[in-house]
Amino acid sequence: MQRTRVKICGLTTAQDALNAAELGADAIGLVFYSKSARAVTPEQATQICSKLPALVSVVGLFVNPSEAEVETVLKHVHLDCLQFHGDESAAFCDSFGMPYMKAIRVRPDLDIKSKISEYTTASAILLDSYDKNSAGGTGIAFDWRIAQRCVQESGVKIVLAGGLSADNVAEAIRLVRPYAVDVSSGVESAPGRKSTERMSAFFNEVYSV
């Protein structure tokens, strides 16, 4: 069985990114959304990326950006993948000629299957918890059975996010069998600052499955 990949999102310092990589992160996430407590500038992102070892992917997270905003980041920062966390259309997500993940925030009135089918060019679909006041990083889990059905029925790579921590990630992986898990607040000591101890505990639980 293929192992579950891990993305540590919302990094704001080079040291935290290096620690995440050394612990086993397949990817790190950098937030280019000014309203987020974990937002970084292109200059900060460049510094963070310069400390990363080879073979660790860098994902840039955007929320309803303009084309110019994305292009500005891409001019300054080497990204391996884009992550769109707002209401972006598939055409917009695909317009940069790069692999992208589309985040879908799970809520009771949403037809998940239909929504996923809109993004046929996505490299993966990230399922996150819905919060009307936040685009992500809420620390709240949703009903994982929904994600389980998406894995079983959609045929696309599913990245599980939302409220994951060392306390529950092994259980989540056993139930959902996602392509990857994405964690931010669940391994933090403060918004944007990752705890090495919490990240280590998280990886230990992922590897235990």
What are the catalytic residues?
A: 9, 128
- Longest Cα–Cα distance of the chain, Å, equals 43
DSSP character at residue 131: B
- Assign 195 to helix, strand or coil: coil
Distance CA 180, CA 27 (A): 10
CB 26 within 8 Å of CB 56: yes
State the pairing for strand pair 188-190/193-194: antiparallel
